[in-house]
Every structure is written in C-alpha cells, then in structure tokens.
Structure 1
Amino acid sequence: MIPSPGDGWIRLSPRKLLLDPFKAVGQAIVPVVVALIGISRSDMRFWPFIVPIAILGPLVLGAIPWLTTHYRLTDTQIQVRRGLLNKSTSTAPLDRVRSVDLEASLLHRILGLQKVEIGTGVDDDRITLDALAAVDAHALRTTLLRRREVGQVPTPLDPREPVPTPLDHQGSLLAQIDWSWLRFAPFSLARLVLLAGAVGVLSQFGDDLPIWNEETATSLWEWITQFALAAVAVVVAIGALATWVLVSVAGYVVQWWNFRLVREHGSLHLTTGLFTTRSITVEEAKVRGVEMTEPVLMRLVGGAELSTLATGVEDGVTQVLPPCPHDVAISVGAAVLEHTGPLTDPLVAHGPLARRRAWLRQVRASLVLISGVAVAVWWFDEPWWWTAVVALVVLAVSALAGESSYRHLGHALADRHLVAGSGVLARIRTVLETDGIIGWVVTQSWWQRRIGLADLTATTAAGAERVLVRDVRLDVAVALADRATPGLLTDFVEA
C-alpha cells in the first residue's frame, strides 16, 4: 500500500529504477547464461519464451524495491517501510542513532546516488536506504547527526530540508591523504589477499592453459635451461617484486583516494575511496580507545596504522588512518584520545619469566612443524640431514619471534587509559579508557601458577570486547586492575 500524501512518507530516488535492474542482471547473469547454453543444446523451441523472461525478469525484480520502500522522519524516530508480500517496518529513535555511513559504488556515482546505513549500536543491526540522491543522502546524514547532538531541536518531517542550527561548520581536519605515504604501500602485506585471489582464479582455468601441454612445457623448460638458473631466478624475483609493488600501490590508491578524517558534530567522519566511495561516522562519545599497529616490514620504514575502538559500530574496530608515518598515527591518536601519553609513554616490562614464556610459546609451535618434516622425511625415505636443516632454521626463527614477542609485551596506566602492548612480528599498542572497562578476568594456566604469572583481561563493550595483558605477575595484575577501576576489586584485594 502506497502511503497517502501528507503523512510524511518519502520514496527512494527514481534513479533506483536504473540501479537495481543492473544489480539484478549482474547477480543473475551467470545462471542465466548457463541455462541458455543448456537449452540451446537441447531444443530451440523454448527460445522465444526464455529470452523475454531472461531480459524482463531482472527489470521487474529490480523495480520492486523502489515501488515498495518508503521512509520518513518524525519528531522522535526514523522509520523505513518495505516489502511486497511480507511487509516490514524498521524504526530507530533519533536519540539512539550512533552512526550514519554513506557508500557509493561506481554505478551509484554515475547515477548520482548513495547508500545510507544508519547504526543504533544494537547488535550491529542497521537501517539501510539504497539509494538516495547524493544531495538527499548528505542532508539526511546531517539532519540525523545534528538531531542527535542538539537534543530537542525540532526535526522536519521531510529529511531533505536543512535543520536550522548554529552547528553549520566544516569541523576540524585531523588528517588527509598525503601521496608521499604511498611509500608505505609495498610494506603492508594486506594486498597479498588480492594476489592470492588472482592465483585462485587462474588456477580454475589452469588445466586449459597451453603450458600444461606436455610438449609445450618440455620445450619451455629446455628454453629456460639455456640460460643460467641464477639469472632466471633474479629475473623472476624482480618480476615478482615489481608485480607486488604495482598491486600494493594500486590497491592503496583505490582504497584511500581522497581520504579525509574530520571531527564534526561530536563525531569522527571518515571519507575515502576511488571507485566505491565510503563515508563513515563514529560517534566520539562511543570511542573508548585506539589501537596502533606497526607491522614488521612497515616498522622498518617508520610506518604505522591506527584504528578506533568504539561501541555501537560494526565489528567495533574502525581503521581511521591508512599506512602512514608513525608520527602522524601518534598525533591523530592523541587527538582522538585527547592525551599523548598513552601512545608514547614507555611500557612496564614483564620480566625474565615472561620472556621465557614468550620464547617457549614460539618454540613449542615450531616443534610441531619439525615433527611433521621428520615424518615426511621418514615416509619418503629422504636423507635425515633435511630434518636437521629445517630444525635449525625453524628454531632460529622461533627464537627471534619469541624475543620479538617479549619486546612488544608490556602495560601501563596513563591519563586514565589502560595501555597493553602485544604482537609477535607486528607491534600492537592497545589503549582503552578505564571508564570503558566493565570487568576483569584473571586466568592462570598450570605453568603460569608455578611461576606466579597470570593473564589479565579487561572486558569492555568496545572493539574486540577484551584487552589482554599477557604474562604479568599476579600481584601486579591485581594492583593494576585496582588502580584502573578503583573500588571494583576492593573485596578481592582486601581478602
């Protein structure tokens, strides 16, 4: 049923009639093509019926969401009504709106549309409006964020109208893209997922490649062996390195194009993206801390990444900076926390017993690999010196990883923030407001009890919902928890 005029219900942009059919065709193209090929091989009599259905079906299905979706703002709620046979109405109180994110794929941008996702902080459920005209989407976002901030300022029934408020400003800029940061792209291994995906796609068609023809493969190998194998290895290594640099830099540009991080209307507002643009809002009142990560390769060139830990946002962790200089990550993190100390103060070391635990943890994992190699050598009747070589290499790497893990370990209590250091190869510093701590968990394994160590976990509603301080002395763990949240552990401390 279409709402009657005057009740405030608004349809999505009519340009959605162009967007959804394209999306429907894209989703159905593979099964439709497979079906058409199968029918063409069996009987051509059905083509006059199949072709119109294949063409008109996605168009009709794509038009249904526009015909059946309406939304409106009341003085207290945003409401979305959708559905043809199974109708549903989603509502969210305006004072519970925690985030308003905008996203636009390349097709959205061509049509001048944006997708709006409204989060209320309840089980990651979001109200989605796909798609609004770009102007209307920005107006709706501004209206919702200002309505949340000013409290009782009346909200017009038509969200496309601007809200009269003195908060009409651009906010303060915390960071924006600097293309000199591209130098950090090859040192971030996140793009390896893209290469792995490309290899997976090629493997699907590997059997059809001519190189797998025995004659072709033999002639290719004979041609390669005409050259020095060392020279071939160097060429392959240079080619792989060049490919990696190209993929990593291209991925960085696509993801972080036009990156801006702005503080406005009591929120952190992140915009980024080349083909698909994203506009993410994180309410500062819900930000409980930050996490600064320094991957091992990026640390060699002075780079770092920064994420916020918040409640009421999807996954709880939002990356707010691309790989960038370490000083930039610290300055932006300090601006978010409104304190510099948690990201710069030295951490309290956990002592030689914790170092031994870090080493043994890595060596124990390496023994599994060495045992597997030994079994393989015995099974295939290979020389036993292979096991010795692998054991020496793996144990050396494990020792380095154990020492690295210990050096990253530590804790501090700075400016009412709990700081925990962790990570094996990557150095991770997690900062959590003590006001965001809702409980403590102290655990001890049998080995930890023997040497007086414990794992201290601060439970929180933000981020991953836990911050772990590993292998700290039991008395230090209890004292740290008591200082961070005075009164919460009084009964246990006195006992």
Structure 2
Amino acid sequence: MIPEPGEGYVRLSPRKLLLDPVKAVGQMVVPLVIALVGISRSDTQFWPIILPLVVIGPLVLGALPWLTTHYRLTGTQIQVRSGVLNKTTSTAPLDRVRSVDLEASLMHRILGLQKVQIGTGVDDDRITLDALAAADAQALRTTLLTRRAVAEQQAVAAAGAVGHAAVGPTDLPDGLSPERPAGPATPSPPLSPPPVAPAVPLARIDWSWLRFAPFSLGRLVLVFGGLGVLSQFADDLPIWNQETATSAWHWLTQFAVAAIVVVLSVGALALWLVISVAGYVLQWWGFRLVREHGSLHLTSGLVTTRSITVEEAKVRGVEMTEPVLMRLVGGAELSTLATGVENGVTQVLPPCPRGVAVAVGEAVLERPGPLTGRLVEHGPRARRRAWFRQVRHALDAVVLLAVGWWWFDLTWWWLAAIGTALLALAAVAGQAQYRHLGHALAGDHLVAGSGTFARIRTVLETDGIIGWVVSQTWWQRRAGLADLTATTAAGTERVLVRDVRLDVAVALADRATPGLLSDFVGPAHGTA
C-alpha cells in the first residue's frame, strides 16, 4: 500500500526479506565456494565459527536494505531514506518526475514484486525502490505521473496569479483604474487531477516479426562474449589436450574439406537461429507501446519484465535504423531521442516491418513525412569524400597486413588477393555511405541521413536545437564541404549532417533556427 501525502515513512514490501538474501548468495557464490574448498582442506576446528558466518552473512546483508530503507509521498515530493552508518535522503519534486520505470526479474515475479526507478531528468541519477508489491508499484507509478500533471497545473496557475497581481494602476490606460471587489478576496478552488484519458495503443507484438530476429546482429556480441569466456577455461578442460586434438583432426581429414565447411556452416547457422529467436522472445515477449499520462509507456519481457516511461514533452525526435541484413527483408528499428532519460536514446520498437516503424515514428512526431520524405543529395564531391574515406581505411589495413606478411615471410599473392578484396569492399561501402547521405528540413524537423551499411535516418525538432557547429578538415576545405552538427540536449546530444556544401550548411542552419546564424548568412549563400 503506497503512502498518502502527509503520512509518515513506510518500508518496502516485507517479501524483500526473501529476495535480497537470494541475491546476496548469488553475488557471493564464487567466494563461498572458494571458502568452503579452503575449509575442507584445513583444520576442522574452525568449522563451528566459519560455517555459521557463511550461512548467516548473506541473510544479514539481505535484510539490511529492508530494515534501513523508507519512503513517503508529500504534497510536493517523494522522499527516500536509506543507509546504515551513512544516512542518505533522496528527494524528487513531483513536477520534476520525468519517468517511472518498472522492472521485475524472475525472482521478483515469483515473489510478486517489482523494482521502481524514478527519473527526474538530472543526468542519469534515479531514485530506486527495490522492491514493492506489484500492485503498489503500479499504483505508485500512476500516482506519480498524475500528481506530476497536477503540480505542473499549480505552477502554471501560480505564474498566472503573479502576473495578474503585478498589474496596477500605472499599467492601465489613462483615465482607467482597476476595479476592486468590495468584500474579501475569494480563494481559488484547489486544482483537481486532470481526467485520466484512456491509453492509446501505438504498437503491440506480432509474432510474424520473429522473421527479423536472425537478421539483427546485435546478439552476436553475446556469442563472442561466450566464446571469450569459454576460451579462458578451454585449456583446463579434460578433453582439450594434444592427443584429443590430433585424433579429432585425423577424423575430420577423412572427409572432403568442402563437406566439413558445409557441415560447420549449417551448424553455426542453426545455432545462430536458436540464439537470435530465443533472445527476441525473451526480450520482447508481451511487447506493448501505448500513449498515456502524457508519456510513451513500453512494456515487454518474458523472464525479466520491463516497464519504461518516456515523457512525450521531453521527446525531441526519433531515429529509424535499417541494418543491412534487415533491410533485405524490409525490417527496421525505431528509437526516441529525449532529454532527461538514461542515455537519451530509448528503443521503443523491436525489429519489425519498416512500415510499422514509420507509422509509430510519425505517431510520436505527430507529423507525417520526415521518415519517408526525399532527402537533398550532397553532390559528387560528397561522393568522392565517401569513397576516399573508405578506401583510406582499406589501404591502412593493407599496409598493416603487408608488415605482417614481410615479418613472417609469407606468400605475397595471398596479400594481393586480400588487398584486392578489401579495396573492392571499400568501394561498395563508400557508395553505400553516399547513398544514405542527405538532409532535409520537414517543417519544424531537421532530418539527417547517415550510415554506411546500416541506413540511419534521424529526425530532430528544431525547437530542440540549442546550437550549431560547422567544422571543416583540410580536405573538406579544398572540396568546399563542411560537417554541420546540430547540438541538442536529447539523444546523443548531436545530429550530424556530413559533407554538405558550406553555403548550404549555413543556409540550412539559418532556416531551421532563424536569426541564430544571421551574422553568417549573406546573399552569396545558397538554399538548403
């Protein structure tokens, strides 16, 4: 049960006493195993002392957070007290609450608990309540978001009252005087919470989207991480020795090399299908995106459930990404660019059809066109820059390979073949990078196209632009090009328009934010 305004501090759910000891044991399992192995090899006279500590220690450490954490709601703040020796009090004004995210691991869900994270838009600091009963967590989220709206109404009303009180006889035309009531002033009625509008659904999971999972390579990082961990212990495995390796090699060489390659490729592909589909299901199970309480609310997750809130007033744009493999099957991903949220970029859609990403993006922007409109091309000089950039990277790699070939005295025709392949790949990458390059000004939104193999389109509200940076390298100056960067507090804090003509860059910035670059705009500048 969540506290009412004015009541005293309350504790978290008593079921936290079951949750934290399990978490403490999980964090201490490796030291405990080492300690037990050491005990088993030492004198048993210390067992009566050490074993109780091993058992009671996690229980005590798990109980301390519940005993020392209290929270309460006042009419204007949420306050959280925690700590044993160093007492800490965290407060957040209700009108500064920007997000209320809920998360529940498998253990949380078994115990009927949820973790609440309250963001105020100040850096990445959040107030965390771990853990509340699931019903209390949902009620607290609704209460905080509703009272945030009331607090904002009160602030607006107070500002209006101050402005009204500032009007005096000297502020009125000659011959007029303000009318004053004869009786005492009538107090303004208290503001009531705004009516709760029904949630507007924007998207929900469609399991036909599973076809996009194998074409999203983000989970390859997990595969490589697992292989790295395995390699650390491979030398200690009993089956990994010279005799076993020699026997396995002799067995493999009985078959044709082509057959071995085919079998290994099919096996790797099957493993990747299992990993990618399983990861997609675990992350996006029950996915639902709705608009409610003036925010975008995303819920998803099978084992660990997430409930993420992004205040729409802080959303300054969106970014649609089409990775190269996903583009082959018509897929895309969508993220919001916002201020006051962790990392600034929040993925609000799983890999899904491009049409769905466009529709949801336009619903968030409340404007059709920026994600599908035609971009202004940057011309042949920008194409040469894109080609030169990729070819230079390929030449750097060839030089490094040549040094290695010379050092190990290897056959040079292999280096020639690899170098030719790298240069051909660089040419393809340069052409792809130029094709994705472009910009546009769609009403009050700046649109920038970028990416090499992945096609990225970034849309930023011009109201969210706080400055411009025009930079030129020596090569760009010779080509008459520049990089135009729109600085913003949202997302990654910058939107880059690469390799655009200098006069077009200045004109584009002036059109997006009239008057900000007026000193740099002259009759010689072109239009964007």
Aligned to 2:526: none
Aligned to 2:278: 250
Kindly indicate whether residue 292 of structure 2 is the aligned counterpart of residue 274 of structure 1.
no
The sequence identity of aligned pairs, in percent, is: 76
Q: Tell me how far 1:343 sits from its aligned partner.
A: 0.4
Using structure 1 for the length normalisation, give the TM-score: 0.95
Cα 1:460/1:167, change in 2 over 3 Å: same
1:346 to 343, 358, 374: 374
Q: Tell me how far 1:165 sits from its aligned partner.
A: 4.6
Kindly indicate whether residue 224 of structure 2 is the aligned counterpart of residue 191 of structure 1.
no
1:240 to 248, 257, 268: 268
Q: Tell me how far 1:209 sits from its aligned partner.
A: 2.9
Amino acid paired to 2:472: Q
What are structure 2's unaligned runs of at least 5 residues?
155-190, 524-528
The 4+ residue runs of structure 1 with deviation greater than 4 A are: 163-166
Cα-to-partner distance string for 1:75-108 (whole Å, 9 max, x where unaligned): 1000001111110100010000000000000000
Kindly indicate whether residue 520 of structure 2 is the aligned counterpart of residue 492 of structure 1.
yes
Q: Superposition pairs for residues 419-430 of structure 1, below 5 Å? A: 419-430=447-458
Q: Tell me how far 1:201 sits from its aligned partner.
A: 2.4
Q: Superposition pairs for residues 143-154 of structure 1, below 5 Å? A: 143-151=143-151
SS of the counterpart of 1:212? coil
Aligned to 1:177: 205
In structure 2, distance between residues paired with 1:481 and 1:87: 50
Contact 2:98/2:119 (8 A) holds in 1? yes
Cα-to-partner distance string for 1:152-177 (whole Å, 9 max, x where unaligned): 789xxxxxxxx985634541000000
Aligned to 1:78: 78
In structure 2, distance between residues paired with 1:265 and 1:452: 49
SS of the counterpart of 2:521? helix
In structure 2, distance between residues paired with 1:214 and 1:440: 62
In structure 2, distance between residues paired with 1:352 and 1:108: 57
Aligned to 2:422: 394
Instruction: Identify the range of structure 1 (197-206 vs 132-141) with the bigger mean alpha-carbon deviation.
Output: 197-206
In structure 2, distance between residues paired with 1:27 and 1:83: 20
Amino acid paired to 1:226: Q
In structure 2, distance between residues paired with 1:345 and 1:152: 36
Cα 1:152/1:403, change in 2 over 3 Å: closer
Contact 1:455/1:469 (8 A) holds in 2? yes
Kindly indicate whether residue 444 of structure 2 is the aligned counterpart of residue 416 of structure 1.
yes
Aligned to 1:440: 468
Question: How many residue pairs align between the two structures?
Answer: 483
Cα-to-partner distance string for 1:340-359 (whole Å, 9 max, x where unaligned): 11101010000000000000
Aligned to 2:90: 90
Contact 2:150/2:194 (8 A) holds in 1? no
Kindly indicate whether residue 62 of structure 2 is the aligned counterpart of residue 62 of structure 1.
yes
Instruction: Identify the range of structure 1 (290-299 vs 226-235) with the bigger mean alpha-carbon deviation.
Output: 226-235
Aligned to 2:390: 362
Q: Superposition pairs for residues 106-125 of structure 1, below 5 Å? A: 106-125=106-125
What are structure 1's unaligned runs of at least 5 residues?
155-162
Amino acid paired to 2:137: A
Q: Tell me how far 1:8 sits from its aligned partner.
A: 2.1
Cα-to-partner distance string for 1:312-359 (whole Å, 9 max, x where unaligned): 000000000000000000000000001111101010000000000000
Contact 1:315/1:464 (8 A) holds in 2? yes
Contact 1:339/1:415 (8 A) holds in 2? no
In structure 1, distance between residues paired with 2:230 and 2:461: 47
Using structure 2 for the length normalisation, give the TM-score: 0.89
Aligned to 1:378: 406
SS of the counterpart of 2:235? helix
In structure 1, distance between residues paired with 2:418 and 2:344: 41
Aligned to 2:433: 405
